[in-house]
């Protein structure tokens, strides 16, 4: 199986030993504590599950700046986006070297992790702006990723962590949430050797389904991991339970047995375009995928990124940095001429009118009226689930 990024074996930060987990949980109850932001909590979940291998905790300010500028930590570890624990209040933890980290997203705010504090630093406006601009490519406050980053606070609390639970993800998504450790184990159980990973934060329409089939055929893959984001999205995005149901229905009906896994991960979307595409590739390698589909405007939002910037950034990464291979995809759509889904770049004799193309707004309007999109756009069984959601709002 493909090696994880940065080490020979995966090193998840979750405390799996029952005795150690019990002792650390008891200790944490008496430690000074801080409330995490949602983004920092998501980072802890990803660190706990092994997705952020080989990192051992939250970055300090120097590492965050180095990663933002060069996609490397100060020690030379390749990493595309800062992994930070930012806050606007350090009064409860200042002067303490071991603290408990509380979960902001679960009622009662249980302790998510225990942290050995290496440093507490105050970032300047210039430093925060540098990190944001290099990571997101903009300082526009209308960009949801920039807005979320800037709202977290200016104190950088860095250090190693030990994770005690996976927040709300295991409870809310017991059939879907998986750690990188679990996905590696399931891949081995399936006996797959080449594995394509597909990232989604939306339901999958026919074009997405066919793109996965194309990628598997062209790479010779024997397995597909549909890996959906289960964390915080921007307003208006379809909730994870609805996406989950729609995707499972598609896989059950239109993929051969033992060829596709439907899984999810606990992270808040950054909407960082090219940088987030690289992050997605890193943690897909950590979960055991050998290939990863990157389509048009991957992890983008609005008009902040060019259509293929998320693919082009991989051409700037030194050879050998990542073992996972990128399957670069164009927009896929139903061809009226060929009566099948094709990549638009592979149909040079087509005009826009030769494809079945519907905007997201148009699709939402149709679903809201109880109308299924045409069969060339969406499977009817998937459309039914989405219609039920939109009409229940």
Angle formed by the axes of helices 125-136 and 61-70, to 10°? 40
Residue tagged active-site, from 202, 248, 296, 369? 202
- Which of 158, 153, 145 lies closest to 118, judged by CA? 158
Annotated catalytic, 202?
yes
Q: Rounded to whole angstroms, how far apart are CA atoms 51 and 232? A: 17
Structure-block tokens of residue 144: 């949801």
Q: Rounded to whole angstroms, how far apart are CA atoms 34 and 90? A: 8
C-alpha dihedral over 386, 389, 391, 392, to 10 degrees?
A: 170
| C-beta of residue 123 within 8 angstroms of C-beta of residue 155 | yes
* Number of helices and strands in the chain (H, E): 13, 14
Residue tagged active-site, from 201, 258, 296, 379? 201
Give the phi and the psi of residue 285 in degrees, each rounded to 5. Answer: -65, -40
Q: Is the dihedral of CA 338, 340, 343, 344 positive or negative?
A: positive
Helix (H) or strand (E) holding 90: none
C-alpha dihedral over 292, 230, 178, 213, to 10 degrees?
A: -40
- Which of 187, 173, 313 lies closest to 229, judged by CA? 173
Annotated catalytic, 178?
no
Look at residue 240 and give its three-state secondary structure: helix
| C-beta of residue 29 within 8 angstroms of C-beta of residue 107 | no
Catalytic residue ranges: 201-202
């Amino acid at each position: 199986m493909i090696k994880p990024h940065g080490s020979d074996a995966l090193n998840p930060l979750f405390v799996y030993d029952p005795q150690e987990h019990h002792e650390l949980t008891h200790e944490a109850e008496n430690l000074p504590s801080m409330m995490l932001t949602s983004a920092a909590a998501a980072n802890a979940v990803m660190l706990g599950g092994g997705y952020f291998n080989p990192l051992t905790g939250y970055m300090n300010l120097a590492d965050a700046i180095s990663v933002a500028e060069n996609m490397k930590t100060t020690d030379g570890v390749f990493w595309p986006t800062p992994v930070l624990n930012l806050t606007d209040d350090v009064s409860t933890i200042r002067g303490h070297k071991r603290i408990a980290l509380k979960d902001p997203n679960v009622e009662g705010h249980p302790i998510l992790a225990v942290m050995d504090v290496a440093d507490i630093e105050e970032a300047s406006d210039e430093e925060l702006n540098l990190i944001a601009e290099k990571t997101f490519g903009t300082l526009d406050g209308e960009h949801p990723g920039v807005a979320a980053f800037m709202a977290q606070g200016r104190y950088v609390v860095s250090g190693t962590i030990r994770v005690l639970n996976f927040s709300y993800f295991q409870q809310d998504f017991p059939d879907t949430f998986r750690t990188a450790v679990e996905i590696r184990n399931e891949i081995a159980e399936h006996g797959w050797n080449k594995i394509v990973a597909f990232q989604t934060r939306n339901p999958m329409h026919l074009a997405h389904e066919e793109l996965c089939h194309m990628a598997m055929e062209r790479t010779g893959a024997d397995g597909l991991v549909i890996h959906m984001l289960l964390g915080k999205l921007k307003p208006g995005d379809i909730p994870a339970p609805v996406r989950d149901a729609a995707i499972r229905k598609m896989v059950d009906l239109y993929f051969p047995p033992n060829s596709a896994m439907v899984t999810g991960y606990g992270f808040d979307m950054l909407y960082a375009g090219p940088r987030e595409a690289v992050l997605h590739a890193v943690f897909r390698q950590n979960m055991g995928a050998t290939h990863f589909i990157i389509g048009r405007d991957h992890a983008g939002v609005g008009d902040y990124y060019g259509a293929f910037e998320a693919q082009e950034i991989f051409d700037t990464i030194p050879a050998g940095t990542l073992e996972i291979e990128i399957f670069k995809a164009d927009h896929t759509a139903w061809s009226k001429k060929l009566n099948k889904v094709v990549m638009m770049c592979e149909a040079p004799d087509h005009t826009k009118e030769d494809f079945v193309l519907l905007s997201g707004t148009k699709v939402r309007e149709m679903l809201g009226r109880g109308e299924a999109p045409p069969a060339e756009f969406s499977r009817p069984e998937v459309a039914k689930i989405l219609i039920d959601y939109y009409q229940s709002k």
